[in-house]
Structure formats: structure tokens, C-alpha cells
């Protein structure tokens, strides 16, 4: 992948970044090989996994739910003790200080082994908030919060969406007013993943209702362990409660618990969403490939591998996973060149979320009537594919099928992603808007 690091737009190219060409004048094929130092670090990670995982390890999905929860807690302690938490954070803040390439190699090997990269709320605390705080936080905020995130003392969740501000996040109405040295927060958030296991929440709140909708928002850091914060789990159609409603009734946070500028929270929020949507681009295809192998095995078990319609859908799925693999390499190229996730991340989100609905529909079709009375173990989480090692139980596939329904909604709906692609990548005209004035003058606000 040494070539990859010198090419801005994708794989392949000479040291000056220009694409190599055949004698006929056409560009040469892509070079997706990794540099030698990546292989050395990969061996180090594999040795770590071999030392700390059981000899019969088949992946987190092979464990029961309770056993998987206990393993994840223990595994997080192992990662922390060996410097494998907060991979890209500087060492001065307790991170591993890995290079971008080392971070990717480790993520790939963990994905192949079917082990988590942290605890249940670390995606919010380390990957989202931590990386965002490194860019926007004050020295005092970094010294106070980052060590508590790493220790697991502070468990974070995300307070963005509201009943009237999901796809149109800028329409949010949760308000915060400054009262002396404290912000007083009133309003509601919804679809808060992990809110029932968190003790802190980063909240987008409106701090100036007279400004335009995206300009009067601040990014607040709120302790949930206070009387003014109420968490209500939302039962999903799977019967699980991964999402929550969060209500604020005169909840409080300190004046200095604003990340970024007061009324400048939109830029902070977009940085965090870039981390959310860009994360995993290089390893997404690994998980989807493992899942596709399970679907193929399910078809084999059911004697359907010679059915022309099933074969055609499996072939389409294989093609889609390969597209994700190479698109991941392209995103990795940008990452290694120091580029932050941008509008390109929306194309990946659009593609994998639609694909996942298609592949889980295929699994349910292969199950046939058994999908109507699912038995066995359900999935371990509510997002994307289940962990490697998951059984081919009907309950598992039906659960993942349910989860895939939400894939085109969470982390930005497909409609929002298409708008981003159309306007920011394709250069199409922006949609006309009727809400360009002050937020409090938009109908329904006040």
C-alpha cells in the first residue's frame, strides 16, 4: 500500500502521485499492497491476539449474550493494560499514539478475529467525543474528560436527534439558557443509543433562538446523574431496547462545559458526524464478507445453492461486498493522506445500508417459514452485521434483518445522504428552503 499513500484520489500511482500508464495510454491497475512496516505491525497485533484469546476462540458472536458482555468488559481491561485503547489519541492524553496505518492494521486484525475494539459505550466516548475534543476542546477539557473516558469512569452517549429534528438536525429545539455559571437545559432527545448504560451525554442545544437555525446551537457536555435528566428506553420490534428517549427538565452543566464556541456547535457536531460516518471504512467489508459467508453456508445447509434465483442474489451480494472493499481502500487512501472524512463518507453509508437490507432479506427468504417462528440466539447488537462466530439460527438472522431496517435511518437517513452527495459531490443546485431566517420565526417555533 506504499503506492496508495502517494495517490490522492485512489490506489496506484508513482511517487509523484501521477497514475502509471500502460503503453496504450490507459492507467495501470490499482496497487493495493501494504508497505513492509505494515506487515511487521500486523504480526505484532496477531501475536497479541494469539496470546490473549482462548485457543478455541471463534469470535464474539459464538458466545451467549451474558458471556459476551462479561468478555467485553474483561477484554477492554486487557486492551487498556496493553495500550490498545484510543488508538489514534496522542500518548500525552493516554492514547496509543499509533500512526494512521497502524490504526487501520489493528482494526483489520480485530475485525478478522471477531473481537471488539473497546467497551459498549467507547464508540461514543473514544471514537466520537474523544477525537472531536482533541480538535475542539480546551486544555482544561482535555485534561478533565479524556482520562475519565479511557478509565471507563465516564460513559458517553449522543444527544442529537429530536422528535422534530432527525433528518433535519438543524431544526432542533432543545434549549439551554445561561444562568450565572451554569447552563439550564430543557427539552428532549430521541433515538439515543446506549443512553441506558451511559452516565454522560453530549447534547446539541439551542442557545440563541434569534439566530439562523444552524448558528444558534452549542455543543454541551452533560452529566446524566442528576434529577433533571430522565432516560426512557424504547422497545424495538426485536423486543430489545438499544435506543432511548432522554428528557431534560432544568438539567444543568457548567458554563465551561461547551465544546467549541457558544453558538458554534454546528461545526463541532459536523466534525463528530464525520468521525461517525467515516469510521470503519477500511474494515466494513471484512464484517460484511463474514456475514455473506454465513448466508452462503445457510443456503448450502438448506440445499439452495443450485437455485438460480438464490445464486444470482448471492453473486450480487459478492459483487457488492467487493465494491465496499475497494471503496474502503479508496477511503483508506484519503485517510493515510491526512484527509478527514467528508461528503464521500455519505456514498459509503448509502451503499452499505441499502446492501444490508438486501442481504438480510435474502437470508430470511432462505429460511422460509422458519423465519416466522425464529428460534435460537438473537444478535448481540442493533447495528449492522452480527459479530463473527454468530450461529446460523433463525432468531439471529431475523434479528439482524430487523436491525438492517434501521440502517438507512441512523447516522443520517438515506434521504439526507443523497442530498449531501447531490449538492457536495455532484454539484447539483441546493434545494430551495423556506427556513433561512431566525429560528424563532420559523413556523412552529417560538
Supply the pLDDT for residue 199.
Answer: 97
Q: Is the pLDDT of residue 86 over 80?
A: yes
Supply the pLDDT for residue 254.
Answer: 97
Rounded CA-CA distance 301/361 in Å is 17
Q: Is the pLDDT higher at 308 or at 243?
A: 308
Average pLDDT over residues 17-46: 69
Supply the pLDDT for residue 299.
Answer: 98
Supply the pLDDT for residue 318.
Answer: 98
Model confidence pLDDT, tens digit, residues 370-418 = 999 999 999 988 788 898 999 999 999 999 999 999 899 887 889 989 9
Average pLDDT over residues 125-140: 94
- Which of 110-114, 154-158, 270-274, 278-282 shows the lowest mean pLDDT across its residues? 278-282
Average pLDDT over residues 326-348: 80
Q: Is the pLDDT of residue 17 over 60?
A: no
Spell out the domain ranges in the chain. 1-33, 36-119, 156-268, 280-425
Please provide the average confidence, as pLDDT, over all residues in the chain. Answer: 87
Q: Is the pLDDT of residue 14 over 60?
A: no
Q: Is the pLDDT higher at 11 or at 432?
A: 432
Q: Grade residue 28 by pLDDT with cuts at 50, 70 and 90.
A: low
Domain 156-268 in this protein, CATH class: mainly beta
Q: Grade residue 143 by pLDDT with cuts at 50, 70 and 90.
A: very high
Rounded CA-CA distance 340/68 in Å is 33
Supply the pLDDT for residue 328.
Answer: 86
Q: Grade residue 435 by pLDDT with cuts at 50, 70 and 90.
A: low
Average pLDDT over residues 107-114: 92
Q: Grade residue 274 by pLDDT with cuts at 50, 70 and 90.
A: low
Supply the pLDDT for residue 64.
Answer: 94
Average pLDDT over residues 159-182: 91
Residue 22 has which C-alpha cell? 500502460
Supply the pLDDT for residue 5.
Answer: 40
Average pLDDT over residues 118-131: 92
Please give the positions annotated as active site.
Answer: 276
Average pLDDT over residues 281-289: 85
- Which of 132-136, 180-184, 271-275, 419-423 shows the lowest mean pLDDT across its residues? 271-275
Supply the pLDDT for residue 434.
Answer: 67
Average pLDDT over residues 204-229: 95
Supply the pLDDT for residue 169.
Answer: 85
Supply the pLDDT for residue 273.
Answer: 72
Domain 280-425 architecture: Up-down Bundle (1.20)
pTM: 0.85
Amino acid at each position: 500500500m506504499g503506492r496508495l499513500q502517494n495517490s490522492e484520489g485512489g490506489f496506484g500511482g508513482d511517487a509523484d502521485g501521477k497514475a502509471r500508464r500502460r503503453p496504450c495510454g490507459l492507467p495501470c491497475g490499482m496497487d493495493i499492497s501494504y508497505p513492509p512496516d505494515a506487515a511487521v505491525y500486523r504480526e505484532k497485533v496477531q501475536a497479541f491476539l494469539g496470546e490473549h484469546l482462548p485457543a478455541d476462540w471463534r469470535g464474539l458472536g459464538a458466545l451467549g449474550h451474558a458471556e459476551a458482555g462479561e468478555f467485553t468488559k474483561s477484554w477492554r481491561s486487557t486492551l487498556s493494560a496493553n495500550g490498545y485503547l484510543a488508538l489514534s489519541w496522542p500518548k500525552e492524553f493516554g492514547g496509543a499514539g499509533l500512526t494512521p496505518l497502524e490504526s487501520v492494521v489493528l482494526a483489520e486484525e480485530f475485525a478478522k478475529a471477531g473481537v471488539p475494539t473497546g467497551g459498549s459505550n467507547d464508540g461514543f466516548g473514544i471514537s466520537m467525543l474523544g477525537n472531536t475534543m482533541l480538535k475542539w476542546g480546551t486544555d482544561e477539557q482535555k485534561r478533565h474528560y479524556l482520562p475519565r473516558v479511557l478509565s471507563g469512569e465516564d460513559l458517553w452517549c449522543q444527544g442529537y436527534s429530536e422528535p422534530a429534528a432527525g433528518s433535519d438536525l438543524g431544526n432542533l429545539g432543545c434549549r439551554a439558557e445561561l444562568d450565572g455559571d451554569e447552563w439550564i437545559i430543557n427539552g428532549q432527545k430521541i433515538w439515543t443509543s446506549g443512553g441506558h448504560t451511559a452516565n454522560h451525554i453530549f447534547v446539541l442545544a439551542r442557545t440563541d433562538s434569534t439566530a439562523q437555525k444552524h448558528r444558534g446551537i452549542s455543543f454541551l457536555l452533560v452529566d446524566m446523574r442528576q434529577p433533571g435528566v430522565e432516560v426512557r428506553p424504547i422497545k424495538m420490534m426485536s423486543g430489545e431496547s438499544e435506543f432511548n428517549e432522554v428528557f431534560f427538565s432544568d438539567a444543568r452543566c457548567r458554563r465551561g462545559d461547551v465544546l467549541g464556541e457558544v453558538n458554534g456547535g454546528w461545526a463541532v457536531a459536523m466534525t463528530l458526524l464525520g468521525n461517525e460516518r467515516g469510521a470503519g471504512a477500511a474494515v466494513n467489508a471484512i464484517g460484511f464478507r463474514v456475514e455473506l459467508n454465513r448466508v452462503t453456508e445457510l443456503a448450502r445447509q438448506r440445499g439452495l445453492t443450485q437455485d438460480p434465483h438464490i445464486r444470482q442474489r448471492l453473486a450480487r451480494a459478492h459483487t457488492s461486498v467487493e465494491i465496499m472493499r475497494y471503496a474502503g481502500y479508496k477511503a483508506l487512501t484519503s485517510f493515510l493522506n491526512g484527509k478527514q472524512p467528508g461528503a464521500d463518507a455519505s456514498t459509503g453509508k448509502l451503499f452499505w445500508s441499502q446492501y444490508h437490507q438486501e442481504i438480510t432479506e435474502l437470508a430470511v427468504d432462505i429460511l422460509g417459514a422458519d423465519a416466522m417462528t425464529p428460534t435460537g440466539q438473537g444478535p448481540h447488537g442493533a447495528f449492522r452485521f452480527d459479530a463473527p462466530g454468530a450461529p446460523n439460527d433463525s432468531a439471529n438472522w431475523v434479528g439482524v434483518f430487523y436491525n438492517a431496517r434501521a440502517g438507512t435511518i441512523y447516522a443520517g437517513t438515506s434521504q439526507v445522504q443523497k442530498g449531501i452527495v447531490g449538492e457536495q459531490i455532484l454539484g447539483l443546485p441546493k434545494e430551495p428552503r423556506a427556513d433561512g431566517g431566525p429560528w424563532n420565526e420559523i413556523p412552529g417555533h417560538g
